[in-house]
Structure 1
Amino acid sequence: MNRRTQVGIVGAGPAGLMLSHLLHLAGVESVVLEARSRKYVEERVRAGLLEQGTVNLLNETGVGERMKRLGLVHHGIELRFGGRGHRIDLSGLTGGSTVTIYAQHEVIKDLIAARLAAGGEIVFEAGDVSIHDFDGPTPKIRYRMDRSVVELSCDFIAGCDGFRGICRPTIPAGALTTYDRIYPFAWLGILAEARPSSDELIYAYHERGFALHSMRSPEITRLYLQCAPDEDPGKWPDEKIWDELQLRLAAGAGWKLNRGVVLQKGITEMRSFVVEPMQSGTLFLAGDAAHIVPPTGAKGLNLAVADVRVLARALTDYYANGNRELLTKYSEICLRRVWKVQRFSWWMTSMLHRFGNENENAFDQRRQLAELDYVTSSRAAAQTLAENYVGLPME
């Protein structure tokens, strides 16, 4: 079966769905192909800290109602080290900007609902997806639906299918330059039915390793411990995790971590990854298909949204005016932001974690403590952190 649309989008994550939504608002047709089921993508739990710009975009484009009701708006974060807490006033340092805790799968639910309500097409459980001829004027996406093979002809393909998707590996060898860093640690994370022990996120540096206190709702807490990259979660019974979190997060003798039933437990790898360019012919990569950041800076979803804002604007300009200039500059525009975000995520990660290898020594530990002391005692340093944390302005 042969079909046609203007933009074929591979992947129904935040990047693909937001791109389809933005294109619809501009009068551009798209079809989204997703290998997983709707239930899977709507229930797959991922981090969910939204920058001010992401929140603004969701509200401006009509998909922010549930977020406004359910999201938790935060005006600051806390850095803990040496047994003391130090608050970074995000709003006060950035002219009123905030971050919002709203899980990624909730964003996906809102975008799917909006696309389907507007008559948009999302093909779930698309099998054997492959892309073809994106080096020419008539790119195609082939996929299997039930027992039929469908060929979707389009003007452009958006590869929004994540780090392990099929789009980036389809680009010929040698066309992309890869920049990669694997960190010598990971995070052991739990989702717990426990009231958050703090109104804001806590980032803790401890001699035993990093810890993070976050939340998903007023009743659900998300917590992480630095661990070995090959850590076996089965060797961490719940009580051991709670005890270690209490030890690393404590700030003063009176602070106590709220405990509860552990709902989920898993390992999160730590990696920095970028490919250049983010486009090849009529194929454009966005989100995790083009870059990965360690989760310390909470930038993954936000960077994906920033990519597709640029791509949607470029495609809209092409269809409205026949202008390819922004399409040509897509990688250049996106990568400038990508590398700034990589810098910030690396900085947060390197400041807060124990590297625990032969290169780490007492000098490095004292340097990390001095950096934390500087960030929490200098307005200029705190403002730099705050500006990056709430999100850099869009170009």
Structure 2
Amino acid sequence: MPSDVQAFEARATDAELEDLRARLAAARLPEAETVHRAAPGPGRWAQGVPLADLIDVVHYWRTSYDWRSFEARLDRIGQFRTTIDGLGIHFLHRRSARADATPLLLTHGWPGSVAEFVDIVDELADPDDANAPAFHVVVPSLPGFGYSDKPDAPGWDIEKIAAAWVELMGRLDYDRFLAHGGDWGGVITTVLGGRFPQHVVGIHSTLAEAPPGLPLDGLSATDRQWAEGTRDFWRNRAAYAKQQATRPQTIGYALVDSPVGQLAWILDKFAEWTDTEDSPFETVSLDRVLDDVTLYWLTRTGASSARIYYESHRALDPALRVDVPAAITMYPRDIEKCPRVWAQERYRRIVRWRSPEAGGHFPSLEVPGFFVRDLREGLAAVLSAGE
């Protein structure tokens, strides 16, 4: 192990877990929502997380959820920290036993975390199928997220994070690597492919950011629906992003002080952004959602994680072009879906494009089996194109 990389173990104190349970037991909750359609379905969530659902999740979190199990899973993968540009960066690192394995960087977004990838790292590193590609997997926690340090000054935007990831991979002796991401991870992966082609063999992303200002004229009916749906999302359903892009400190007080507030802030997105008809738990287990929420709570990152919006909400260079091979998958219930004809204006070598029949914003949790197959096939196409 390089001398500037240190092994790390995640350990909440018993006192911290007792404090969490006490706060959950003493939570002050508002009255029930006043929606007219109380039957199961999207309308039930029209004003946010329904009170009855929140009560059930809070009860389970307080009485049954096992954080120690999640800590053990992180330890089994392998946790490390290193300091880059004065900031401590936490990451998971699982080397494959295969001699032909390729380094792979996985970057999460908000309200995600390394918890999104914990259940798939082993499959990517050491697949049962000897014909499937294998990867040395690196999963960093974004600055201000999880066990990475919280920046104490401005400047940690998507460009700086991408440069830090190149430095991180270099310290692990991965001078050339593949990169995958979704949400903010997809934006950072785009920057990696565009700015660092000498290090990035190619990319796979569940998010494509087209250059701004492209016209709707000439789009197919499906592409127009995608473009208009994305525009509607940012105009009418993105209050969380505007809040975090303009006043992250203000919302941060509530998120860091109230576990129920942190839970509701994140659970709302799991409900709206997954491929479900009513509850996010139709496809994502309650324990997996609570792994993510509890990580935010115990690390007190409600404010610091929100600041990525303040730093980077409009930071992607409109002129940035990605010339390395790219595989892109647009899941049907994701919040942003970019037409391929638009994506091609930025990603100049799309070697594989897929539109699955199921899945939303958190595919590694919603459809993990399909996600792993799609990621492998996409990266295989990228590697083939790179050769």
TM-score scaled by structure 2?
0.28
Query: Max radius of gyration: which structure?
Result: 1
